Amino acid sequence: MNGMLTALTLAGLLSAGLATADPGGSIEERMDRRGDAIEQRLQARGDAVNQRLDDRGDAAERRLDNGAYRAEGAGYPRMAGHLERKGDRLDGRLDRRGDRYEGRMDRRGGRVDQRLDRRGQAAGARGNGRH
């Protein structure tokens, strides 16, 4: 009996225009929200990877600088210079790799968001709920 009453109540609300058949909003709005959420996730992933690579580069540079300090103390100045330069190069390389990855994720997120916005607009213009 309750199920029947609910169905009749919903049917009455739909026919009166007080409820919509699309509970999540229009297809356009849903696609827009989905695109924004995906874009934010990709940006967060890019930021996290970039931070991890920066930290790795800094740690490697620190280790090589410690090795250079020990080499200097042991009487190997050329080895100390070599280790310092190696640390700087490694840190720079990892920083650039992180920046590239972060940029790639930002661009991918923007493209996904735009594509879903266009799909939502096209589906909304057609008036159907699925595409």
Whether 7 is in a domain gets the answer no
Model-wide pTM > 0.85: no
* Residue 105 structural domain: 37-121
Question: Could you report the per-residue pLDDT of 66-107, keeping only the tens digit for each?
Answer: 999 999 999 999 999 999 999 999 999 999 999 999 999 999
Question: Could you report the per-residue pLDDT of 40-77, keeping only the tens digit for each?
Answer: 999 999 999 999 999 999 999 999 999 999 999 999 99
Band of pLDDT at residue 5, cut at 50, 70 and 90 = very low
Whether 75 is in a domain gets the answer yes
Whether 51 is in a domain gets the answer yes
Chain centre distance of CA 23: 27
